[in-house]
Structure 1
């Protein structure tokens, strides 16, 4: 393969790779937008659950605080602890949330009060928390959900209908409640203090211990949504294509600019050489006229017109000065034109004697 054919093939290959990468990047962005499943509608009958559902779409922890909150949670630290485990934490620290007098919690509180052995004074906490937990788990069915009450030390847990089932007789009625009970009884979490991060710190190992008894453990949660690998690869390829295209554009611009500058320099050198040659030819003509005067007198030919010889000499001196200060192609071309006009044959005696002088005196 010749060098030219090899370069042509390489250019075609680069072009195909750039176009293919651009198409892949566009597809990687559009496919997740067009083919992703519908997001949770977040239209339950419980406003607190709706807000939490929206806040947990691509996050594992949502905390709705308010003025005079009685507890706190380091949300970034809690999210880091949970990682991509299918655990969702919805915390309500505002005193106006999960209120027992809200009409949409009335049935949930009544259900708790009807349970055998239920403590009636706790129903106003358990009812709202359980109803909110069930609503969130209904939208995220393959997760375990923990709801934190505005009052410190009150929380509940539930698992969505899509969460793997277990058949251990030793487990409590609610597997999620058992995990939460283990987390609440671990270390500082049992104190029910204002800092709720210890609860999350105990929740993660309790969860890992609990899923060891599952025949089919729950899968990790894709916090970035569907088509994550496709989107990430599209961003990477798109960035590479953009960088390559920018490099080629800059390189082409530099090359084109360099070629233009090179051509300009070559043109200026050629014009300067031509001007020097024409000025040297004019000098030779002046010297020849002075050198041949004696021969012309002896041969009977009349001497050259003194005015013509003077015009040539003055023209030469003027152009010699100009060529030393000239810098542009146009200036060198003008010097060549003036020198060649003086190198024309002797002018007609009837012609205007100031014609050559006007030519020489014209500006460069």
Structure 2
């Protein structure tokens, strides 16, 4: 019996020692997997294997990063390969963004999100401090999310056996430059894609067709741009200029080919003109302020205005559209692709 007790005692000591050792390993592992990094003057905690360059990337830098991660020398994709479409990207964005705290100007921070912020920002110890730094906190988590989205998009494109690109159905299809622009800024992209999906639905309900170059297409592009600006301004801590710039860049890249070249035809001229007109109208009608203090057109006003302008739009040839912007030359095309605003607010279509 003494032997049995001693044996039991030894087994118990062994088990306790094993448990103690077992609990120390993850703690050491956690310490090894995270490090302190200075981001815009604030100390933040990041995984040791996180590519710090993602915190300060130009668009060109991001293209190179994506090409490297995807194993492509150019980042471009041949016509027979998979290019994620807008709806598939929306699913990836939603799934990854929900893993990070939500912060905004006029939004309280949940207890769970606040606890996460305290862990990731050692210098932030109160809710008041967190609320005063929502732009910084947002950018930090948006950057962490960017890596997750890139990984998921690459995996999807390289492993999905679906039908590939949704050819010709704008704005559900994505060009490679547009895709890269969106996944480099997940939180903005989620709102941009929400506007695109709603614009599709509104157009089908009102015009029964997504045929290019007619009044329905003029409505779709204009309402897409205007709603995207509103959704971004309402959904993330940003300013009007940043929101309009993101939408301009995305919708212009939507008109390019997969190598980033400007397409210069009548359809592109129509779409780019209507995009610009909608952004110009939003810029004029959006007033200074942040959060609930900002005055801008509500969703229904945007829809009603763009539908009215589309229905009353005139039919014009490409030469007319180009002349409104400076004539048929490279400078005019550069302006159509790169300018956020327009000297015009009217919409046009090019087919009866």
Quick check: TM above 0.5? Answer: no
TM-score by length of 2: 0.23
Name which one, 1 or 2, has greater alpha-carbon Rg: 1
Return the TM-score normalized by structure 1.
0.22
